[in-house]
Structures are given as C-alpha cells and as structure tokens.
Amino acid sequence: MTRIGFVFPGQGSQKVGMGKDLYDQYFEVRELFISANKVLGYDISSICFDGPDEILTQTANAQPAIFLVSAALLLLLKRSGIVPAMVAGHSLGEITAYYAAGVLSFEDALRVIQVRGAAMAASYPSDDSAMAAIMKVELKVIQRIVSSVKEGPVVAANLNCPGQIVISGKKAGVAEACELLSKEGGRAIVLNVSGAFHSPLMASGSQKLGDFLQDNFFSSAQIPVILNRTALSEIDATQLKENLSLQVISPVNWIGSIQYMAQHVDRLVECGPGKVLSGLCRKIVPELPMVSVSDLESIKGIENGPQ
C-alpha cells in the first residue's frame, strides 16, 4: 500500500485568483470560504480571488488565504480517497499540517493564524528587520559567518534545501552577513518580508502566542506531524501546543523534515497554492516521487492517485 506524505506551503506562495476555480466548481469549497469569512470577520474570499496583489501579500491576508486554499485542496483530495500517512508544513504551513492531522479545527486554525501573525508583527520593528536567501554556501559556513556579525542577532532561519539557506535578524547584521558570505562565493537575495521571522527577535511574539494557545483546545494528532524545529514526528497534543509558540523563534529545518519523511513514505504531495515546496523537496530527495496539487486542473489529474 502506497504511503503518501502531504506538505503544505507557507507565506510567499500566494497568488491573486488562487482558489477561485475550486470555489466555482465545488459546493463544499464554497462553504469553507464562507466559514473563513465569518471566522476572520472580513471577506478573505474576495482578497484571494481579486486581490489586488499588494493587499493579498500583506501578512494578515496572505497567511489565512494560503491556509484556506490549502484546506480546500486537502478536502478535495480526501474526498477522492487520497489521504496522508504523515504531514509537514513550511513555517505557516505547519498550522495547516496541524489541521490536516486533526490537531486543530478549521476555525481554531484560522484564529491561531490571526494571532500568530499579529504577535510576530509586533515583536520587533520591521524597519530594523531583514531576511535574505543565501545560495551556494554550505550551512556550516553560513552559521560561522552569522555568529560573527557585529549587529546581531542573525541566524540561519530557513534550511530550505541544499544550497538555499535563509538568514534572519537585524537589518544591519543581515547586510553585513550578506557581504561576508559573498566573499565565500555565495549569492544573497534580500527578501521582501516584514520581520525577522524564525529568529530570537520574535521572542515577544512567541510569548504572546504561547499565552493565547494556553486557552485553546488541541487534540492529539491522528497521523504524525513532522515538526519544523526538530525534523521529527509528533502526535502528543501538549507537545504540539508547545511547539507552535517555539516554532516562531526557531529555524525551519525543512531539509531534515523532508529527509525524515522520505524514510517513511513512498511519495510526497504538495497541497496548496504554488509549487515552491515541490522544487525544494526535489532538491532534498530527488529519488522520491513528488506531485503538486494547487488548482482544479491538478485536482482532476490526481483523482486516480498521484502519478
């Protein structure tokens, strides 16, 4: 029997128009979007479908929108009998993984996303924050360089795939690290983000999120969730709750997470808008079959099982 791992994308995968074809085709997807509008208190559906892009890309909109489209695709995959044996999500996508594993309800997941985004945005001034993708430099070299910068903290925040590591921290420190890494043969791309995510600068946001989560009900996972922080599986409700607040100040070990999944599944399905994770996963475990499900066409193409 084929064991399938589902992976869910994070912020940056959004695109104006996403989910509209699903909404038009399936009644149950329309119900999901209507429910999201009620929970959030505004019309996230229109923002998904019509934008404009500068509104959709705002963290407060992009994150629930990506979750919503991912949840719609998950619903349709399950309806077709395609269910995961384990799940993982990249940063924000980890909350989608919690939902897929039965840890959080749809409504609670949306509320957690709202609070998480606000808490992270308020953690540290955005004009003194930066993140940059570093290409063609080994992780150990990046870790050595970022630990040496004068305007820290700067950390290796997203271990996306071999040859692509994102650093995060104070603006001046990230700029210094980029200059030093260029001398090591690397190429740096400064990212258009509003905070130093997955770094110690998110400490107050982590605390606020943790306080909020104490009053929220978490179920134990029905299937293993591979955590960003540890790159290991977890099903315990208490541990999953604690992880969610720690995740915002911890590196996303996507390389380790996918390597772990590759030991336990026969293929991967990216469930959500875009194909970012498919590209990363193919660089991490090129031998593992991978398919991206992001829209109506890909849903119809996978109804008989991922190819």
Choosing from 13, 45, 70, 91, the catalytic residue is 91
Q: Tell me the C-alpha distance between 53 and 104, whole Å.
A: 29
Q: Tell me the C-alpha distance between 289 and 107, whole Å.
A: 32
* DSSP string over 82-114: ---SEEEESTTHHHHHHHHTTSS-HHHHHHHHH
Could you confirm whether 91 is annotated as catalytic?
yes
Structural contact between residues 244 and 213, judged by C-beta atoms closer than 8 angstroms: yes
Q: Virtual CA dihedral for 277, 17, 133, 244, nearest 10 degrees?
A: -60
Q: Tell me the C-alpha distance between 254 and 250, whole Å.
A: 12
CA proximity to 99, closest of 254, 218, 245: 218
- Would strands 154-161 and 164-170 be described as parallel, antiparallel, or unpaired? antiparallel
| CA distances to 85, 100, 204 from 226, in Å | 11, 12, 25
Q: Virtual CA dihedral for 208, 211, 216, 218, nearest 10 degrees?
A: 90
| The two structure tokens encoding residue 155 | 């950390």
Q: What are phi and psi of 130, to 5 degrees?
A: -160, 155
Choosing from 13, 123, 168, 198, the catalytic residue is 198
Beta strands in the chain (DSSP E): 4-8, 86-89, 129-135, 154-161, 164-170, 187-190, 225-226, 233-234, 267-271, 290-293
Catalytic residues: 91, 198
